[in-house]
């Protein structure tokens, strides 16, 4: 076994781990005053991990006796994860400095880096042991991040709920893994697939159900979505933006790899679970958002709704379906981060955050640029052309139809009309209602990120459509040798 080659394939995780440990020491010595420097250093570490993907880390193959795989699929997901993590770090300093009693502490970016290590392991896992270790590393950092504002009761409540329900989901996942191991005699994805080919025993079938149930919690798919609105509302806004993007990508990419590589021969069995979760998430996510008055809770239900559309692509079980999932993830991450960056601008004259939707009233007259960007994100989330969100939904529906799942595509398309209602309601509030109290001055860096995200999602982003389609299809080939 060539350990040097194996370490090179895991170079992104090594860069993140070493960077996190060094910055933790700097945080211990430098204290609160080093927070901003550590934040920018963390972004540099994430950029370094992204650069490390350009070598064998994106095409090296299997490492450490089949525990880890470096391929185009994992590299695709890691680019999104590292990018979303960097944006979450950039969002934090201004937010925490404006929030009374909770200035930014240097542990925040370090926790983001440690979570990124776990997510990197998750998307490259080819063994249930690696899967669980990576998932728990990400989750442990996430529990702390959710309750990061110690003086805020809502943040403490969010962290506690996330921890308790996350522990329950981990137990369900572990039980499923134990069943799969008990009836297949292995934890490696390739060997588990061979066991499913040999015969679909009841034990393997039950193991499949519990594994998918545990993974459904991590990506907040119905019926394991109950934690999402409360955690999104209670956690600090930069943390909520992080939860809605990077961990979501990792959970979905992990689920895709497990479905295709470990349980591909049981396609007909897990497809029923995925179809139910997809339709339930689309419908409940849309219906649950209608009565919301808190913008973060609305975006939480929007996240559940979008997970449903992504699962439509996975239900196809084909290379085209996986490519559609990856393409949707790119658009989804940009839409989500852009929306939460706008939420970050919602603050009163004293810099305190405002989360009520009615505070957006008349935004087009007080902050026209911000209103335009938010309108673009809402139209895209609703799947209204010519925004890229329309292309993303079209891609997953096309993959479903190509796989013979025409009823699923039709139901998903009809249900998307429900979601359009609450997205357009936000636009109506901004453009037709009487102006509310103007928001405080915006941050230049945050404004630049909002503008970049809006331009990408707008019709200008069509320039990159062919590039994204080729990249996502190439990455999907990594799961279909």
* The two three-digit tokens of residue 43, written as one number: 């972004």
Concatenated DSSP letters of 3-48: HHHHHHHTHHHHHHHHHHHHHHHHHHHHGGGGHHHHHHHHHHHHHH
pLDDT at 200: 66
Q: Which helix (H) or strand (E) holds 134?
A: helix 128-146
Q: Which helix (H) or strand (E) holds 168?
A: helix 153-184
Using CB atoms within 10 A of its CB, is residue 319 exposed (0-12), middle (13-18) or buried (19+)? Answer: middle
Q: How far is it between the farthest Cα atoms of the chain?
A: 69
Q: Check residue 469 and report its DSSP letter.
A: H
pLDDT at 32: 78
The C-alpha atoms of residue 424 and residue 409 are separated, in whole angstroms, by 23
Q: What is the mean pLDDT of each run of 10 residues along the chain (481 residues)?
A: 81 93 88 84 94 84 86 92 94 77 77 94 92 92 85 79 87 92 88 83 87 90 85 86 92 93 86 92 87 87 92 92 94 93 82 80 85 91 88 92 90 85 87 78 82 92 89 88 69
Number of H helices, E strands in the chain: 21, 2
The C-alpha atoms of residue 345 and residue 450 are separated, in whole angstroms, by 10
Peptide bond into 363 cis (omega under 30): no
Q: Are 214 and 282 in contact (CB under 8 A)?
A: no
Residue 336 forms part of a structural domain: yes
Residue 309 forms part of a structural domain: yes
Q: Any idea what the Cα angle at residue 304 is, between residues 129 and 337, rounded to 5°?
A: 90
Q: Are 307 and 221 in contact (CB under 8 A)?
A: yes
Beta bridge partners of 188: 127
pLDDT at 1: 53
CB atoms within 10 A of CB 272: 12
- Host domain of residue 466: 266-481
Using CB atoms within 10 A of its CB, is residue 216 exposed (0-12), middle (13-18) or buried (19+)? Answer: buried
The C-alpha atoms of residue 89 and residue 280 are separated, in whole angstroms, by 33
Residue 99 forms part of a structural domain: no
Residue 19 forms part of a structural domain: no
pLDDT at 257: 93
Residue 185 forms part of a structural domain: no
Q: Check residue 200 and report its DSSP letter.
A: -
Please choose, from the candidates 299, 308, 366, the residue with its C-alpha nearest in 3D space to the C-alpha of residue 339.
Answer: 299
pLDDT at 351: 67
Residue 230 forms part of a structural domain: no
The C-alpha atoms of residue 64 and residue 433 are separated, in whole angstroms, by 59
Instruction: Please state the pTM of the whole predicted model.
Output: 0.93
Peptide bond into 113 cis (omega under 30): no
Residue 163 forms part of a structural domain: no
State how many domains the chain has.
1
Q: Are 209 and 176 in contact (CB under 8 A)?
A: yes
Residue 390 forms part of a structural domain: yes
């Amino acid at each position: 076994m060539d350990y040097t080659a194996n370490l090179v394939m895991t170079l992104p995780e090594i860069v993140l781990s070493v960077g996190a440990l060094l910055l933790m020491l700097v945080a211990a010595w430098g204290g609160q005053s080093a927070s901003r420097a550590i934040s920018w250093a963390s972004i540099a570490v994430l950029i370094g991990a992204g650069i490390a993907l350009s070598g064998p880390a994106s095409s090296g193959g299997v490492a450490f006796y089949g525990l880890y795989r470096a391929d185009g699929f994992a590299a695709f997901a890691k680019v999104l994860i590292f990018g979303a993590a960097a944006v979450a770090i950039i969002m934090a300093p201004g937010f925490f400095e404006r929030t009374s009693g909770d200035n930014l502490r240097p542990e925040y970016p370090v926790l983001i880096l440690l979570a990124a290590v776990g997510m990197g392991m998750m998307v490259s896992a080819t063994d249930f042991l690696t899967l669980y270790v990576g998932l728990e590393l990400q989750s442990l950092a996430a529990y702390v991040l959710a309750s990061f504002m110690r003086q805020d009761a809502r943040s403490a409540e969010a962290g506690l709920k996330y921890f308790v329900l996350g522990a329950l989901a981990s137990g369900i996942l572990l039980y499923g893994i134990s069943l799969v191991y008990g009836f297949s005699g292995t934890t490696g994805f390739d060997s588990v697939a061979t066991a499913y080919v040999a015969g679909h025993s009841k034990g393997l079938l039950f193991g499949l159900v519990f594994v998918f149930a545990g993974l459904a919690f991590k990506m907040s798919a119905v019926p394991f979505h109950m934690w999402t609105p409360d955690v999104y509302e209670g956690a600090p806004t930069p943390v909520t933006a992080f939860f809605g993007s990077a961990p979501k990508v990792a959970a979905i990419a992990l689920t895709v790899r497990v479905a295709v590589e470990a349980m591909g021969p049981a396609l007909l069995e897990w497809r029923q679970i995925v179809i139910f979760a997809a339709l339930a998430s689309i419908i409940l996510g849309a219906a649950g958002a209608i009565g919301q008055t808190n913008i973060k809770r609305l975006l939480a239900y929007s996240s559940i709704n979008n997970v449903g559309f992504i699962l439509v692509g996975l239900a196809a079980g084909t290379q085209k379906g996986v490519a559609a999932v990856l393409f949707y993830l790119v658009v989804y991450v940009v839409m989500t981060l852009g929306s939460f960056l706008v939420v970050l601008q919602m603050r009163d004259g004293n810099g305190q955050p405002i989360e009520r939707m009615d505070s957006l009233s008349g935004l087009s007259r007080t902050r026209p640029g911000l209103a335009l960007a938010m309108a673009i994100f809402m139209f895209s989330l609703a799947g209204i052309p010519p925004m890229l969100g329309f292309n993303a939904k079209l891609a997953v529906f096309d993959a479903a139809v190509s796989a013979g799942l025409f009823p699923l595509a039709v139901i998903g398309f009809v249900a998307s009309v429900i979601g359009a209602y609450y997205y357009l309601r936000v636009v109506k509030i901004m453009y037709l209602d009487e102006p509310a109290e103007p928001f405080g001055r915006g941050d230049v860096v945050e404004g630049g990120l909002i503008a970049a995200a809006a331009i990408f999602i707008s019709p200008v982003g069509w320039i990159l459509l062919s590039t994204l389609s080729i990249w996502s299809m190439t990455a999907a080939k990594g799961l279909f040798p």
